[in-house]
Amino acid sequence: QELLVESGGGLVQAGGSLRLSCVASTFTFRTYSMGWFRQAPGKEREFVAAINGIIGLRGATYYADFVKGRFTISRDNAKNTVYLQMSSLKPEDTAVYYCASDNSGGFPRNFLDYELRYWGKGTLVTVSS
C-alpha cells in the first residue's frame, strides 16, 4: 500500500513554474513533518525543503540554499497533502522529486540526515532550456 503519492511533475521551460503535490494516507498526517527531496540523473538524492507538523515548531519550514526564494513548501492538513510550489525553474532543477515524511521529531535534522519513515515513489520534473 502506497502511503505517499506524488503528482504534478512534467515538462516545463526554464523560468516556468510547477506545483508538486504529495497525498498521504494511513497515518495522522498533521503530526508528521513532511518534505521533498530530488535526485537528478547520475547524482545522489538531495534535500529540497521540509515543513513541520503540529508538534513542536508548528508549521516551521526549512529549505536547501539552492531553492530559497524560488520554491515554497506548504501543507493542507485537512487534505493530507503537502505541496512544493516551484518557480523560476532552471534546467539544473531537472530531477525525480520525492516526498518523504517522519514523526520522530528533531525537525529539521531528520530530513537533513535522511532518516525518514516513509518515502514516495517520485514524480519527474524536466526543465528545458
Residue-level pLDDT at 27: 81
pLDDT under 70: residue ranges of the chain: 1
- Contact call for residues 30 and 53 (beta carbons, < 8 A): yes
Mean pLDDT score of the chain: 94
Q: Which of 88, 72, 98, 83 is nearest to 127 (CA)?
A: 88
Residue-level pLDDT at 122: 97
How many residues does this entry show for the chain?
Answer: 129
Query: What is the distance in angstroms between the CA of the first residue and the CA of the last residue of the chain?
Result: 37
Nine cell digits for residue 117: 519513515
pLDDT tens across 94-125, in order? 999 999 999 888 899 999 998 899 999 999 99
Give the rounded distance of the alpha carbon of 29 from its chain centre: 14
Residue-level pLDDT at 46: 97
What is the distance between the alpha carbons of residues 108 and 36, in angstroms, rounded to a whole number?
A: 12
